[in-house]
């Protein structure tokens, strides 16, 4: 069976002017992961970790270096990774000092696999804040100074919207909303038939320090599951973190895909019923979310790449082993439907 990698640079708003940059980073991430997947020893977890690392390293994305800044002007990142066969999960939240939070999440995942703590102690699956940073240093992951994580564009956006908030609090107009909600992620099917997913985010601009979004929360940012010898799913989400947490959207989508033979309508129905119409989001005007998923049928040796979103746009890329080049796309939703309807696609 061919291995497949798919990545996204978030459900949010992606300007036409920056599309070449989004295309470049999506294709680079896919090509990096696919080159690894050509080796039969490369696992799905290896591939999604490598792909997300590429996305984090590019300042065009809201993850790792170049992330949105908090109210205090600092970078705090969330990330997680999940393996479909073992269902092991590793996550970090509100992590400072690391340009690749996915690598810290991966090391937390690795410790669960090793499960070698003394006196029967359970290894953690989710660490936050200073405790997460201290754990990372103890596990020989190199930290960086805050200023090395802040890109010039992130600094400009921070100053622009901080001034708008200050004017609004003084009685003036807020002058529009912060658009940058996007989270990056990856989903993968490896040659052994296993799946994995990963997600990473700098969170919303001007968030309160310590805030944790869906990218770090179990069942909300990503989900992977190898159900039996015949099927598997992998999901990565993006959008308004608080809304995705309340609806546990990643797990919801995985369950919808597991119980359906037709992935595209199943994903569409899931977002409409469990997100747009969710009783947990009553009173919310615009519900902003997006999903990238793999739906695998091992019996037919088929793997569908599917995406859906209620945001203005979602940029994605995908590639399979043996392919000559990665594919890129940017799905868009009409302005009138943003936050109120869903657009779905797949290959």
DSSP calls for 169-192 = HTTS---S-------EEEEEE-TT
Q: Is 70 a catalytic residue?
A: no
- Cα dihedral: 313, 224, 32, 108 (round 10): 110
Distances (CA, A) of 245 to 160, 229, 242, 281, 307: 28, 30, 5, 11, 19
Residue 175 pLDDT: 47
pLDDT tens by residue, 260-281: 989 999 999 999 999 999 999 9
What is the β-pairing status of strands 195-201 and 222-226?
unpaired
Confidence tier at 146 by pLDDT (50, 70, 90): confident
Instruction: Name the residue with higher pLDDT: 115 or 103.
Output: 103
Sheet holding 222-226, edge to edge: 222-226, 231-239, 289-297, 302-309, 343-346
How far apart, in whole angstroms, are the C-alpha atoms of residue 30 and residue 49? 11
Does the pLDDT value for residue 172 go beyond 70? Answer: no
- Count Cβ atoms within 10 A of the Cβ of residue 166 and give its class: 0-12 exposed, 13-18 middle, 19 or more buried: exposed
185 near 220, Cβ under 8 Å?
Answer: no
How far apart, in whole angstroms, are the C-alpha atoms of residue 14 and residue 312? 8
Task: Give the helix ranges, DSSP H, for the chain.
Answer: 19-37, 44-57, 101-114, 129-138, 152-169, 241-247, 249-258, 263-271
Q: Considering the candidates 43, 49, 70, 183, report the single residue annotated as catalytic.
A: 183
CATH number of the structural domain spanning residue 325: 3.60.20.30
DSSP 224: E
H or E segment to which residue 320 belongs = strand 313-320
pLDDT tens by residue, 37-66: 998 889 999 999 999 999 999 999 999 988
* Sign, CA torsion 30/31/34/36: negative
317 near 295, Cβ under 8 Å?
Answer: no
Residue 142 pLDDT: 77
DSSP 286: -
What's the total number of domains in the chain? 1
If DSSP codes are grouped into helix, strand and coil, which group holds residue 314? strand
Task: Give the helix ranges, DSSP H, for 15-99.
Answer: 19-37, 44-57
Token pair belonging to 126: 């989710």
Residue 162 pLDDT: 84
Rounded to an integer, the average pLDDT of 187-216 is 96
Confidence tier at 163 by pLDDT (50, 70, 90): confident
DSSP calls for 107-149 = HHHHHHHH---GGGPPPPSEEEHHHHHHHHHHTTPPP--GGGG
Rounded to an integer, the average pLDDT of 288-305 is 93
Does the pLDDT value for residue 134 go beyond 60? Answer: yes
Q: Could you tell me what percent of the chain has a pLDDT over 70?
A: 96
Q: Whole-number mean pLDDT of the chain?
A: 92
Smallest CA-to-CA distance from 252 within 293, 283, 281 is with 293
Confidence tier at 169 by pLDDT (50, 70, 90): low
Task: Tell me, rounded to whole angstroms, the distance of Cα 301 from its chain centroid.
Answer: 26
Rounded to an integer, the average pLDDT of 104-130 is 92
Q: In which domain, by residue range, is 22 found?
A: 4-346
Token pair belonging to 266: 């199943």
Low-confidence winner among 177-191, 200-214, 291-305 (lowest mean pLDDT):
177-191
Longest Cα separation, the chain: 63
- 3-state helix, strand and coil shares in percent for the chain, rounded to the nearest 5: 35, 25, 40
If DSSP codes are grouped into helix, strand and coil, which group holds residue 165? helix
Confidence tier at 225 by pLDDT (50, 70, 90): very high
Rounded to an integer, the average pLDDT of 126-142 is 92
Smallest CA-to-CA distance from 326 within 64, 24, 120 is with 24
Token pair belonging to 334: 């009409």
What is the β-pairing status of strands 343-346 and 327-332?
unpaired
Q: Which residue has the tokens 């696999």?
A: 113
Does the pLDDT value for residue 340 go beyond 90? Answer: yes
pLDDT tens by residue, 183-192: 899 999 999 9
Confidence tier at 178 by pLDDT (50, 70, 90): very low
Does the pLDDT value for residue 145 go beyond 80? Answer: no
Residue 140 pLDDT: 73
């Amino acid at each position: 069976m061919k291995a497949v990698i798919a990545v996204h640079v978030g459900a949010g708003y992606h300007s036409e002017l920056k599309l070449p940059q989004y295309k470049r980073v999506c294709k680079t991430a896919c090509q990096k992961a696919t080159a690894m997947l050509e080796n039969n020893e490369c696992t799905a977890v290896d591939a999604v970790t490598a792909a997300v690392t590429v996305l984090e390293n590019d300042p065009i994305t809201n993850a790792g270096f170049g992330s949105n800044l908090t109210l205090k002007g600092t970078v705090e990142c969330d990330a997680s990774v999940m393996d479909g066969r073992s269902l092991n999960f590793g996550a970090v939240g509100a992590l400072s000092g690391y340009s690749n939070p996915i690598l810290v999440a991966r090391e937390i995942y690795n410790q669960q696999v090793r499960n070698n703590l003394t006196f029967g102690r359970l290894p953690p699956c989710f660490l936050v804040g200073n405790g997460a940073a201290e754990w990372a240093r103890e596990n020989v992951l190199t930290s960086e100074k805050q200023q090395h994580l802040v890109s010039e564009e992130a600094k400009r956006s921070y100053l622009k919207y901080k001034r708008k908030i200050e004017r609004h609090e003084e009685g003036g107009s807020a002058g529009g909303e912060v658009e940058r909600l996007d989270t990056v992620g990856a989903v993968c099917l490896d040659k052994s038939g296993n799946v994995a997913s990963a997600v990473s985010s700098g969170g919303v601009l001007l968030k309160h320090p310590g805030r944790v979004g869906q990218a770090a929360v179990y069942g909300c940012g990503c989900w992977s599951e190898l159900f039996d010898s015949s099927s598997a799913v992998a999901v990565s989400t993006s959008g308004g973190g608080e809304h995705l947490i309340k609806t546990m959207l990643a797990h919801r989508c995985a369950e919808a895909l597991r119980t359906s033979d037709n992935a595209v309508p199943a994903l569409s129905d899931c977002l409409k019923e469990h997100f747009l119409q969710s009783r947990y989001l009553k009173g919310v005007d615009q519900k902003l979310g997006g999903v990238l998923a793999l739906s695998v049928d091992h019996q037919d040796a088929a793997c569908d790449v599917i995406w859906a979103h209620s945001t203005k746009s979602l940029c994605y890329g995908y590639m399979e082993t043996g392919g000559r080049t990665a594919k890129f796309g940017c799905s868009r939703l009409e302005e009138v439907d943003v936050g109120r309807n869903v657009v779905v696609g797949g290959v």
